[in-house]
Amino acid sequence: MIARVEPLTRTRAVRGPFDYRLAPGQDVEVGSLLRVPFGARSSLGVVVELAERSELDPDRLVEPEAVLGAGVGADLVALAGWMAREYCSTPSRSLQLMLAPGASVGTGARLALVAELTAAGRTALADPGARLNDRQRGLLDALGRRGATAAAELDTPGLRRLESRGLVAIDRRARPRRPVRHEVGSASVTAPPLTQEQSAALERLITALSARPAGHPGFLLQGVTGSGKTEVYLGAVEAALSAGRTAIVLVPEIALTPQVLWRFQARFGDVVAVQHSALSVGERHDEWMRLRSGEARVCVGPRSAVFAPLDDIGLIVVDEEHESSYKHEGDPRYDARTVARERAERHGAVLVFGSATPRPESVLAMERLRLTHRVDRRPMPAVEVLDMRDRHQPLHPETRMALADLRRAGGKAILLLNRRGWSNFLSCRACGRVWLCPNCDVALVLHRHGHFIACHHCGHRERTPDRCGACGSVSVARHGAGTERIADELREALGEERFPIFRLDADSSSLPERARTLQAFQAAPAGVLVGTQMVAKGHDFPDVSGAAVLDADQTLRFPDFRAEERTFALITQLAGRTGRGALASRVLVQTLAPDARPISFATRHDSDGFIVDELERRRALSYPPYASLIRIVCSAPDEALARETAAAIHVELAGIDATVLGPAPLFRLRGRARSQLVIKAQARQSAIDTVGRAVDRVAPGAARRGAAVSVDVDPQ
């Protein structure tokens, strides 16, 4: 027998599969993970096909060195092939996303070197003056975020050096680990009696589950916030399980919304396995194995859970389908929603997307199920627009007053500002110099409490300057406000023991710490939660009665066709966090663009109106869903090479049945100049194929000169 093997490499130039001869008794299937001789080295590889004979000279074929556990099923091998084509990537890169966590770096159930921060490591990480180079700080930061991590996933020699300084502890571990359960909020073992709308939606899903309708576009469960969508998912999962099938539930961010996971665990117990980034590799590996062996039959997790190794999938749910975190940023730049649709089709599974603010493309394509009322029948909160033109303070007087009222009444509020740090940028009052990132064309943001200024794109940090490096002046101006400054100002104006101010953003360090902040806010009888967009995500606080968005049109200033959709979703989702408590609720929207379309639709809670209007606009401008976008970004050490590479691809695209825009320069990022092409196509598949071929012709030559090409199909 011959095994056709795709070697697991990151290089685009190496394209398998390659033939290997199997020894008698070597038990190999499509999807098996092998160690094979590859050139002068050995490599991991996945069997993509079995054959009776090879086209090659049988004497020149070699045998695999070993068959490893933790391979995938044949369905995932086929899905990887589809993904490689759909996202102009390679089967190898696609397969690497699907293997058992840790498998591709040779960790897994066997003993692995696991690294963790020590107390000294934590202290060094918090101290911007610590003697660390960028690489070392990066390693400590990764450990701080992820907790115990397999050393091989990061950089074993680098970690060993930090170990010798006492900043990191490394040891060899192999016990099977089960993730800790976070029992948050009330979750019932049995379903409550469903509302009429919930029952109708669930009935429709159960009918579809038994009919296995091929080619059905899937269901969109559009329900206002608090309308009980999760209860419908739970019912559908139960139906899939009792039909002997399995289910996948995708959620945006488990660490921040542990109550969703807990509701599934409370209802279904150990058949639920979980995958998420805050787990250690060992935990993720062992949970993956429980799915692969059939012990667990429901996988709840973020976008990568769409690859859960389950057979006979009956249901795939994508909760909060409007969230941009479903798009993967590495190669292949897959969209978990598109992959979910493809995988559901291949398994004859029912596909359900859910949201209070669905994307216009989902509304257009899918069968809609509606939940129009909140479960408790409470009205939606009143949304008021506050005009910020000609105002120089970050908080409108009305917002200040509302917060002071809330403090008096003893209530809770959420304040959203999509910008972290203390102020946006620093400039010298004498010579006008602005502090910029040395690697990127952006300003450095002040983090006053950390005593540093930082680039939010590459992570570069410097100590907060006390004088201008150009002219020596000590007069440094701070411009704009971020979450850190707002939290400071509120603490000064309102803060006290009875009315604490909490802050939640990517600066409030690790995921577990953020989860603790949320729990503290939840437990407090009164107070304010200030943060970036993560405060608007699916949390279910029972007693929040006030909310404010500062600079609501900030998202509108991005040159992006989704800007309007994002702005509408942000305000609506934030409004949805309120009004579940005893006090009458108010939502204040501070903006420089009080008449902007998405803002006025959001103040009227008019999702349908917004979507109709937005689809009309998209049609007129030929944006998705009326056309597909493909973005090609070429990066290089210098501007000329980046532009030349983009231009060379443009030439190769001659004859494409699509509009090609560019090359257009992008701002420099991580020390690399960038140039971009955007393709707007009606004929999606043929455009993807043409782009794939053009990039394959140009990229290898460009790579030898130091340029890199990345392709993003359906960019966000």
User: Is residue 674 close enough to count as binding ligand ADP by CB under 6 A?
Assistant: no
Return the number of the residue (150 or 375) whose C-beta is nearest ligand ADP.
375
The neighbour count for residue 200, using CB atoms within 10 Å, is 14
Closest CA to 150 of 282, 38, 268, 26: 282
**Interface residue with ligand ADP, options 94, 230, 362, 585 (CB under 6 A):** 230
**Interface residue with ligand ADP, options 64, 91, 228, 411 (CB under 6 A):** 228
User: Is residue 573 close enough to count as binding ligand ADP by CB under 6 A?
Assistant: no
Residue 18, strand partner residues? 5
Angstrom distance (rounded) from CA 626 to CA 710? 24
**Interface residue with ligand ADP, options 37, 58, 69, 192 (CB under 6 A):** 192
Site size for ligand ADP (CB under 6 A): 15
Return the number of the residue (98 or 317) whose C-beta is nearest ligand ADP.
317
Per DSSP bridges, beta strands 672-681 and 658-669 are antiparallel
Q: Supply the Cα-derived Rg of the chain in whole angstroms.
A: 26
227: partner contacted, choices Zn ion, ligand ADP, none (Cβ within 5-8 A by kind): ligand ADP
Binding string, residues 233-272; x marks residues near ligand ADP by CB under 6 A? ----------------------------------------
192: partner contacted, choices ligand ADP, Zn ion, none (Cβ within 5-8 A by kind): ligand ADP
Distances (CA, A) of 504 to 418, 501, 529, 530: 11, 10, 7, 6
Residue-level length of the chain: 716
228: partner contacted, choices Zn ion, ligand ADP, none (Cβ within 5-8 A by kind): ligand ADP
Give the residue ranges of DSSP H helices in 65-222.
Answer: 74-86, 91-96, 119-126, 134-146, 151-154, 156-164, 196-211
Please list every residue from 195 through 224 that binds ligand ADP, using CB under 6 A: 195, 198, 223
**Interface residue with ligand ADP, options 153, 197, 231, 551 (CB under 6 A):** 231
Angstrom distance (rounded) from CA 86 to CA 53? 30
End-to-end CA distance of the chain: 45
Return the number of the residue (70 or 440) whose C-beta is nearest Zn ion.
440
**Interface residue with ligand ADP, options 14, 154, 194, 436 (CB under 6 A):** 194
Q: What element of type H or E holds 33?
A: strand 33-38
- Residue 332, preceding peptide bond in cis (omega within 30° of 0): yes
Give the residue ranges of DSSP H helices in 349-473.
Answer: 360-365, 397-409
Q: Closest separation between CB of residue 412 and ligand ADP, Å?
A: 17
**Interface residue with ligand ADP, options 102, 179, 226, 715 (CB under 6 A):** 226
Per DSSP bridges, beta strands 672-681 and 628-636 are antiparallel
Return the number of the residue (519 or 682) whose C-beta is nearest ligand ADP.
519
Beta carbons within 8 Å of 601's beta carbon, 6+ residues apart: 568, 607, 609, 610, 613
Q: Closest separation between CB of residue 179 and ligand ADP, Å?
A: 22
Binding site for Zn ion (CB under 5 A): 428, 430-431, 433, 437, 439-440, 455, 457-458, 460, 468, 470-471, 473
User: Is residue 375 close enough to count as binding ligand ADP by CB under 6 A?
Assistant: yes
- Residue 625, preceding peptide bond in cis (omega within 30° of 0): yes
Return the number of the residue (105 or 468) whose C-beta is nearest Zn ion.
468
Binding string, residues 494-533; x marks residues near ligand ADP by CB under 6 A? ----------------------------------------
Contact residues: ligand ADP, CB under 6 A: 192-195, 198, 223, 225-231, 375, 540
